[in-house]
């Protein structure tokens, strides 16, 4: 399950290669402010460190893309200058389809930022979206020829995301019964004093919960009660606020008696029952679904592949595998929005997930998972590389599914 962390912009997760999704193509280069007076200038050719031709364009009140009148194909940079008195977003798009080739977010007044894109034959225009004002689109610039353009994506809106979110929420609800049954078996083993059976029951119960990764934000405080760690707890594993799966894990693998574990096991069962009872009234935020698809494995890298959530069971790799299942589940509901021109890198993402799954499955021997600390260095490096590659691809899903303002 995803652990809380400092929020960051969805689009800020992206890097600039064409291997990533459409609007991701330029996000990572939006980091600098030009020196000098920042005034828009006419188009000029190569001569910069990157060797790319550059065009300075301007936005102001009622004007967008001023300074760009003649287009040419190929990789190039637009230095976008905000001459208005407020911040704005500026997109370069196909005015017919609305497909976005690049974007500058949060462009402050009086500043410029570079926007790198690859343009082919077609029609293009800048669209300016000032804060607290209506959007407006500048003049269309046509590029002749048949050169291929870089990636572009038609923005996803809130209504697009509602059906997959409702379907995913139903999928989570369908898992609640299994979760309650597995936790009940764990509680019964602890109540009966059979700690060997409890250790056997612990992992299957925990993995059911870990597969629900995209719903963590909707679980609210229940997530910390059910799957919290000792992070931020002054007394560590002795802190009374340390509850749930990891509290029981610590006790089972550190010699605590059944008497000490009955209370935590009973509380876990109650917390799961309460979560299950309240789930039909819960409402997931559709705008968050694409971000969650990325964050599940991002947090796997941060917490599971570092062993930070191991309280004795040595099951981090099993949890990573369950997180991968959870990623595939949410991705399955988003797939209709991603198939085709909106996200042509989908087959590449599927390949990355397959490689990560194959690697993780190699650490499972008949239900007995290799502890993270027992991996050889090459095994550890391969696991990190394969899951990291999948995380990089999933960042593009977060970007494509980011609900963008269009008016």
Tens digit of pLDDT for each residue in 374-399? Answer: 999 999 999 999 999 999 999 999 98
The pLDDT confidence band at residue 1, using thresholds 50, 70 and 90, is low
CB 248 within 8 A of CB 190: yes
Q: Report the chain's mean pLDDT, rounded to a whole number.
A: 88
Residue 32: per-residue pLDDT: 28
Residue 42: per-residue pLDDT: 40
List the beta bridge partners of residue 396. none
For the cut 50, the answer to whether the pLDDT of residue 318 exceeds it is: yes
Tens digit of pLDDT for each residue in 218-250? Answer: 999 999 999 999 999 999 999 999 999 999 999
The pLDDT confidence band at residue 298, using thresholds 50, 70 and 90, is very high
Residue 212 backbone zone (phi > 0: left; psi -120 to 50: alpha; other: beta): alpha
Pick from 19-28, 205-214, 227-236, 330-339: least confident: 19-28
For the cut 70, the answer to whether the pLDDT of residue 20 exceeds it is: no
Ordered DSSP codes for 109-161:
TT-EEEEEEEE-SEEEEEEEEETTS--EE---EEE-S-PPP---BPPB-HHHH
For the chain, where do the domains classified as CATH 1.20.1420.20 start and end? 158-400
Do you know the residue count of the chain?
407
Q: How large is the average pLDDT for residues 343-352?
A: 94
C-alpha to C-alpha distance for 225 and 212, rounded to whole angstroms? 15
Residue 49: per-residue pLDDT: 55
For the cut 80, the answer to whether the pLDDT of residue 43 exceeds it is: no
The pLDDT confidence band at residue 48, using thresholds 50, 70 and 90, is low
Residue 341: per-residue pLDDT: 79
CB 180 within 8 A of CB 272: yes
For the cut 90, the answer to whether the pLDDT of residue 181 exceeds it is: yes
For the cut 90, the answer to whether the pLDDT of residue 90 exceeds it is: yes
Ordered DSSP codes for 30-89:
TT----TT------B-S-STT---EEEEEEETTEEEET--S---EEEEEEEEE-SSS-EE
Residue 342: per-residue pLDDT: 86
CATH ID of 22-143, from 2.60.40.420, 3.50.50.60, 3.20.20.120, 3.10.20.30? 2.60.40.420
For residue 318, what are the CA distances in angstroms to 113, 195, 205, 224? 44, 21, 12, 20
Fold type of domain 158-400 = A middle domain of Talin 1 (1.20.1420)
Nearest to 391 by CA among 360, 361, 349, 357: 349
Pick from 16-25, 56-65, 280-289, 380-389: least confident: 16-25
Pick from 33-42, 85-94, 158-167: least confident: 33-42
C-alpha to C-alpha distance for 176 and 272, rounded to whole angstroms? 8
Phi, psi (degrees; rounded to nearest 5) at 113: -140, 150
Q: How large is the average pLDDT for residues 241-263?
A: 98
Q: How large is the average pLDDT for residues 42-51?
A: 54
Q: How large is the average pLDDT for residues 199-204?
A: 98
Token pair of 67, please? Answer: 């300074």
Residue 51: per-residue pLDDT: 86
CA–CA–CA angle 397, 399, 400 (5° rounding)? 65
The alpha carbon dihedral of 101, 12, 18, 336 has a sign of: negative
Residue 75: per-residue pLDDT: 96
For the cut 90, the answer to whether the pLDDT of residue 11 exceeds it is: no
Residue 7: per-residue pLDDT: 35
For the chain, where do the domains classified as CATH 2.60.40.420 start and end? 22-143
């Amino acid at each position: 399950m995803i652990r809380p962390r400092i929020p960051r912009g969805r689009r800020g997760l992206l890097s600039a290669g064409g291997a990533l999704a459409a609007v991701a193509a330029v996000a990572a280069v939006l980091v600098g402010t030009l020196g000098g007076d920042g005034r828009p200038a006419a188009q000029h050719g190569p001569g910069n460190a990157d060797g790319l031709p550059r065009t300075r364009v301007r936005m102001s009140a009622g004007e967008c893309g001023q300074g760009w009148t003649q287009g040419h194909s190929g990789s190039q940079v637009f230095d976008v200058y905000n001459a208005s008195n407020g911040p704005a977003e500026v997109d370069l798009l196909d005015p017919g389809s609305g497909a976005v080739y690049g974007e500058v977010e949060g462009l402050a007044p009086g500043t410029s930022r570079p926007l790198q894109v690859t343009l082919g034959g077609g029609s293009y225009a800048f669209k300016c979206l000032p804060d607290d004002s209506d959007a407006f689109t500048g003049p269309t610039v046509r590029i002749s020829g048949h050169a291929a353009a870089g990636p572009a994506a038609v923005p996803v809106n809130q209504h697009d995301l509602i059906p997959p979110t409702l379907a995913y929420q139903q999928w989570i609800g369908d898992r609640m019964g299994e979760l309650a049954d597995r936790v009940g078996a764990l509680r019964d083993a602890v109540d009966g004093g059979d700690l060997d059976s409890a250790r056997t029951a612990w992992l299957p119960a925990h993995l059911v919960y870990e597969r629900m990764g995209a719903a963590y934000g909707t679980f609210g405080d229940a997530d910390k009660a059910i799957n919290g760690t000792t992070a931020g707890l002054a007394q560590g594993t002795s802190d009374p606020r340390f509850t749930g799966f990891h509290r029981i894990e610590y006790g089972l693998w550190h010699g605590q008696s059944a008497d000490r574990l009955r209370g935590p096991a009973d509380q876990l069962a109650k917390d799961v029952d309460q979560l299950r009872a309240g789930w039909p009234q819960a409402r997931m935020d559709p705008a968050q679904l694409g971000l969650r698809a990325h964050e599940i494995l991002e947090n796997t890298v941060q917490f599971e592949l570092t062993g930070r959530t191991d309280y004795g069971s040595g099951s981090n790799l099993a949890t990573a595998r369950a997180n991968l299942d959870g990623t595939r589940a949410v991705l399955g509901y988003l797939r209709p929005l991603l198939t085709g021109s909106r996200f042509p890198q989908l087959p590449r993402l599927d390949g990355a997930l397959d490689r990560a799954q194959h690697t993780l499955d190699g650490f499972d021997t008949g239900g007995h998972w290799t502890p993270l600390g027992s991996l050889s260095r090459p095994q550890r490096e391969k696991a990190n590389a394969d899951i990291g590659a999948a995380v990089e691809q999933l960042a593009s899903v977060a970007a494509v599914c980011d609900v963008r303002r269009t008016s």
